[in-house]
Amino acid sequence: MDEGVVKYRCEWQEADSLAAENIADLMDWRDRLHSWGLIGVYENSIGFGNISIRIGNSCQFIISGTQTAHLPNLGPEFYCTVTEFNLEQNFLGCRGPVPASSESLTHAALYLRRDDVRAIIHVHNPQLWQQLLFKIPTTRKEIPYGTPQTIAKFWRWPVTRTELSVLAAPWMKLAKCSRRRSVRLEISHSCQKKLRNRVS
């Protein structure tokens, strides 16, 4: 099994942690997802789940680091910034105290596809998966995760508001927490010209 393994070419620049106050909400939601069992580790020691947030209107984003799913709480030292990527070349550049999650290029593709997506959560939940299987855009099981083949599927998916509503509905229940925050779960467009100028 090759899940949880980085499959893209990664150029990691080691750097200081981000300021905790700048990513407090991101850290809070990640730790909640872990406490709910939506991020974690299987019995075979393979980790699953990650979370990211877009930086301003750019295609750069902050994401949880690779090999961190087993930790119940992540401080700023377990996050990094994705500074550049090239989907066609299967390349990603990041900086921070840890390398980016193995799913970072998938997050990058979603941010690139949809300008309006501000954050992405990737979780594993068998019940939710069965409920949504083939009701929302679904990759075939023979397509390996975290590869250009997976990303190529995104460009063929016509994601409608209805599909986003179906996808978000189960999360609205999860989001009724003490602080009464709402979660907007969306699948991710654009930044393409900006990104081409930077990484091509």
Residue 2 in this model has a pLDDT that exceeds 50: yes
Task: Please give the residue that has the higher pLDDT: either 90 or 163.
Answer: 90
In this prediction, residue 176 carries a pLDDT of 40
Q: How far is the C-alpha of 167 from the C-alpha of 184, rounded, in Å?
A: 10
What is the CA 98 to chain-centroid distance, rounded? 16
Average pLDDT of the residues in 81-85: 96
Residue among 121, 123, 86, 111 nearest 188 (CA): 111
* Percent of the chain at pLDDT exceeding 70: 67
Residues 6+ positions from 59 with CB-CB distance below 8 Å: 85, 108, 111, 112, 191, 194, 195
Residue 108 in this model has a pLDDT that exceeds 80: yes
> What predicted TM-score, i.e. pTM, was given to this entire model?
0.75
Residue 190 in this model has a pLDDT that exceeds 50: no
- Choose the weakest-confidence range: 78-87, 125-134, 176-185: 176-185
Q: Which residues of 118-127 are buried (b: 16+ CB within 10 A; e: fewer)?
A: bbbbbbbbee
Residues 122-172: pLDDT tens digits?
A: 888 888 878 877 777 677 777 666 666 666 665 555 555 444 444 444 444
Task: Please give the residue that has the higher pLDDT: either 30 or 136.
Answer: 30
Using CB atoms within 10 Å of the CB of residue 60, give its burial: 0 to 12 exposed, 13 to 18 middle, 19+ buried: buried
Residue 8 in this model has a pLDDT that exceeds 90: no
